[in-house]
Amino acid sequence: MRINYSPIMDFTMGTAAADLRGELRRLVDEHVPADFLGAFTDDPADFEAAQRFSRLLAERGLLCLAWPAEFGGRDASIWEQTVVREEMWAHHEPRGAQYMGVNWVGPTIMRHGTEAQQRTHLPPIARGEVIWCQGFSEPDSGSDLASLRTAARRDGDGWRITGQKVWTSYAAMAQWCFLLARTSTGERKQSGLTIFLVPMSNPAIEVRPIRSMIGPHHLNEVFFDDLRVTEADVLGPVDEGWKVVQEVLAFERVGIARYARCERLLLAAPSALGERWDALPAELRGRWARMLTHCRRARLLAYRVLSLQRLGQVRPSDAAAYRIAVTTLDQDSAEVLVELAAHLDPAGADGPHRFRREAEEHWRYSQAATVASGSIEMQRILLARALLAAS
C-alpha cells in the first residue's frame, strides 16, 4: 500500500485500505455494543467487551497487522496498521488498553529484547491476552522524565527496585509493566537509566487508583518496595535506557490517532442536528469547518512521522510537531462539539442523544491531551530547539 505524495493528498490510501476500513467498521458494528464509549468506565461490561473484541481482531490477524509473521503479525505495511489505528480510535478504542502493547511495547521488544524476552512477551500481545502499563512519570519527574528517582541497585545476580510512579494508566489491570529506573548516576541525568520488564503480580508492587473525571482504571500510583528482578528482566543495555525511551515516546505520541475521532464526530454533527443545523450561528459553523481543516493537518503530520519512522529517520522534533497539532485539535474540537451538542433537539431520537454522549466523553478525555505523554510545553521546547539548531 502506498501513500500518494502528490500535491493533492489521497487520504484513502488506495482500495486495499478502503477494504480494510470497511472490514473493521463491520466488525465494530457487529461486535461492539452500540452504547460503547470506552473500555474504562464504571461498568465492567465495557472492559469485557474490549477484551473480547481484541481477541476477535487477533483471531482475524488484524490486531498486530504490521508485525512480522514470526511474531504473530501479517507483515503488513505501517499504512495498513495506521488504518487499524484510525478506525479503532475513531470508535472509542474498542481494543481497550491493547493499543499500548501493539503500538510500542511489542515493537520495542522486537528491536531491543533478547530472544527469550521475545518468546515470552510477543505471542500474548499478538493474541490480545495481556495488558501492559508504562512506569515512567513520577511525582517530581513528569515532563522532565530524565530526573526520575526510582532506583534499581545491584543485588547479586539481579536488582532491587524501590520508588514510586504516578499517572500510570491501566496499572490496576495490567499483567506487566514497562519500567524505567535509575541504575547509576553520571554527569547527564539522561545517563544511567535502565528499562525493566516486570510482572505486576509481584507482591512488592502496590497499585493505588487515582479517581478522575475520565473514569476509573485510567490513572494510578504505583509503589515498588524493594522489588527483586533478574538480569533476564532488563530490556536493552544497562544504563542506556534513555535511548530506547526516545524511540518509545516517538511511537507512543503518534500511536493514538486522535484526529480520527475528532473528524468522525465533526462529520456526524450535521446529521445529528438535522434541521437545526441551518439555524446555527455562522460563527459556530465557521469554527466547525476550521476544525475539519485542522483534522486534515494533524493527519498529514501523523503520516509524515510514520513515513520517517519507516525509514528510521524520525527525530523527537518531528513527533513533537505532530503532538502539538493533534492535542490542540483534540481540545479545540471538543469545545466545538460540546457547543454543537447543546443545540440538539432535547426530544430527539437515540442518534442525537448518542452524539451528545460522544461529544461529552470526547471533551472529558481531551482535557488531559496536552499533558499526557509529555506536556505540550515540553513539545514546544523540543520543536523550538530543533528549529533554532537548523536556522
pLDDT for position 247: 79
Between CA 110 and CA 250 the distance in angstroms is: 16
Between CA 196 and CA 66 the distance in angstroms is: 25
pLDDT for position 113: 97
The residues, any chain, with a CB within 8 Å of residue 312's CB and separated by 6 or more, are none
Domain 257-390: assigned CATH number: 1.20.140.10
- 3-state class (DSSP) for residue 225: strand
Q: Is the pLDDT of residue 217 over 80?
A: no
pLDDT for position 317: 81
CA distances from 63 to 2, 3, 73, 99, 175 (A): 21, 22, 8, 9, 19
- Helix-, strand-, coil-residue percentages of the chain, each rounded to 5: 55, 15, 35
pLDDT for position 214: 67
Among the listed residues 267, 366, 369, 268, the one whose alpha carbon sits nearest the alpha carbon of residue 322: 369
> Of these residues, 93, 252, 263, 358, which one is catalytic?
252
- 3-state class (DSSP) for residue 321: helix
CB 220 within 8 Å of CB 172 = yes
Among the listed residues 320, 297, 351, 295, the one whose alpha carbon sits nearest the alpha carbon of residue 90: 295
Q: In this structure, what are the phi and psi dihedrals at residue 163, rounded to the nearest 5 degrees?
A: 160, -170
pLDDT for position 3: 39
Q: In this structure, what are the phi and psi dihedrals at residue 315, rounded to the nearest 5 degrees?
A: -115, 155
pLDDT grade, residue 352 (50/70/90)?
low
Report which secondary-structure segment, H or E, holds 287: helix 282-310
| DSSP string computed for 83-124 | HHHHHHHHTT-TTTTHHHIIIIIHHHHHHH--HHHHHHHHHH
pLDDT for position 216: 62
CB 307 within 8 Å of CB 327 = no
pLDDT for position 270: 96
Between CA 232 and CA 373 the distance in angstroms is: 27
pLDDT for position 69: 93
Q: Is the pLDDT of residue 159 over 80?
A: yes
Q: What residue type is 274 in one-letter code?
A: G
pLDDT for position 186: 80
Q: Is the pLDDT of residue 143 over 60?
A: yes
The residues, any chain, with a CB within 8 Å of residue 250's CB and separated by 6 or more, are 305, 309, 314, 316, 318, 319
pLDDT for position 130: 96
Among 3-17, 44-58, 262-276, 363-377, the minimum mean pLDDT is found in: 3-17
Could you identify the residue written with the cell 504516578? 166
The mean pLDDT of 115-140, rounded to a whole number, is 95
Could you give the angle at the alpha carbon of 247 between the alpha carbons of 299 and 293, nearest 5°? 10
Residue 155: Cβ within 10 Å count: 13
pLDDT tens-digit readout, 323-349:
899 999 999 999 999 999 999 987 665
Between CA 286 and CA 279 the distance in angstroms is: 13
The mean pLDDT of 117-135, rounded to a whole number, is 96
Could you identify the residue written with the cell 481477541? 55
CATH T-level topology, domain 134-240? Butyryl-CoA Dehydrogenase, subunit A; domain 2 (2.40.110)
pLDDT tens-digit readout, 1-22:
333 433 334 455 778 888 999 9
Between CA 229 and CA 241 the distance in angstroms is: 16
Residue 386 CA, chain-centre distance (Å), reads 24
Q: Is the pLDDT of residue 144 over 90?
A: no
Q: Name the grid cell of 96.
A: 481497550
Report which of residues 221 and 253 the model is more confident about. 221
pLDDT tens-digit readout, 56-77:
999 999 999 999 999 999 999 8
CB 159 within 8 Å of CB 229 = yes
Question: What is the number of residues in the chain?
Answer: 391
CB 324 within 8 Å of CB 376 = yes
pLDDT for position 215: 64
pLDDT for position 16: 84
Asked if 252 is an active-site residue, the reply is yes
Mean pLDDT score across all residues of the chain: 89
Q: What residue type is 29 in one-letter code?
A: D
pLDDT for position 67: 94
pLDDT for position 255: 64
Among the listed residues 215, 371, 328, 340, the one whose alpha carbon sits nearest the alpha carbon of residue 265: 340
Between CA 328 and CA 336 the distance in angstroms is: 12
pLDDT grade, residue 177 (50/70/90)?
very high
